[in-house]
Amino acid sequence: MTKTWLITGASAGLGRIMTEKLLDRGDRVVATVRRQAALDDLRERHPAALSVLPLDVTDTPAVRRVVDQAFGEVGRIDVVVSNAGYGLFGAAEELTDAQIERQVATNLLGSIQVIRATLPHLRSQGGGRILQVSSEGGQTTYPNFSVYHATKWGIEGFVEAVAQEVTPFGIDFVIVEPGPTATSFGANIDGPEPMAAYDATPSGDIRRALASGAFVLTGDAARSVDAMIAAGDADSPALRLTLTSTAYANISKSLTLRLSALEAQKAVAASADRDAVA
């Protein structure tokens, strides 16, 4: 059975690959892009199955207008893929206020508003699925990605809570957590002027690793998209979809360390309880 998908941030990377794969298998796609010409080649190949709408997810009124337009044009949308985003790289002290605000507005607030705009439509049609693209960086951290991590940890918490709110309406979520993957993501990373004070620190180490190619990109973009599409098709997918062996290893290590630290504080945690009330 064919499906209809709404994909934000579809001009490049995982969003572009997903759009192309879905169209090739016969599905219908409404793709949002910041540059409408970015998908001209796909529109020529699939004029009846692809709708392209311009959208900057930092513009909340535009998010609501475009989402309303998408549902109005195609009727039912089975899967919403909230994919728009980018990376901000630099030590926290190095970042400018404008860079921080843009990162939060795009990755966190933009994703929140896309989800909020789609929920009334999904409720009225009796259900649907939202794939929120996060990152292994929503569960673990690297130096120089502090604000990026803040947005990804933030959107994962938001989705976990909203998923509980909308389950009665037949709406479910998949949080997609790719590891380092060979896409255009790296080429689009924003960053500040480096400070010499951070050169001989973990921040400087990871900056050099990225510049030299020592930071290995283990992920295959097309295979990652195949797994995302399978999650969109599945009857009852898991809440989280971890992609690449690197992401699996890093998230497993992070969760193990956090659980160990928590267990060591069991007595201290209990000491903060009130006395039993008779």
User: Which residues have a catalytic role annotated?
Assistant: 134, 148, 152
Asked if 219 and 180 touch (Cβ cutoff 8 Å), the reply is: yes
Single-letter amino acid code for the residue at 17: I
Residue 223: alpha-carbon gap to chain centroid: 17
Using alpha carbons, select from 228, 138, 232 the residue that is nearest to residue 183: 228
- Where do the H-state alpha helices sit in the chain? 13-24, 40-45, 60-74, 97-103, 111-124, 146-166, 202-212, 221-233, 245-263, 266-271
**CB distance 191 to 88 below 8 Å:** yes
Question: Across the chain, how many H-helices and E-strands are there?
Answer: 10, 7
Contact 104, 155 (CB under 8 A): no
**Nearest-angstrom CA–CA distance, 51 and 135:** 27
What's the rounded Cα separation, in Å, for the pair 249 and 246?
5
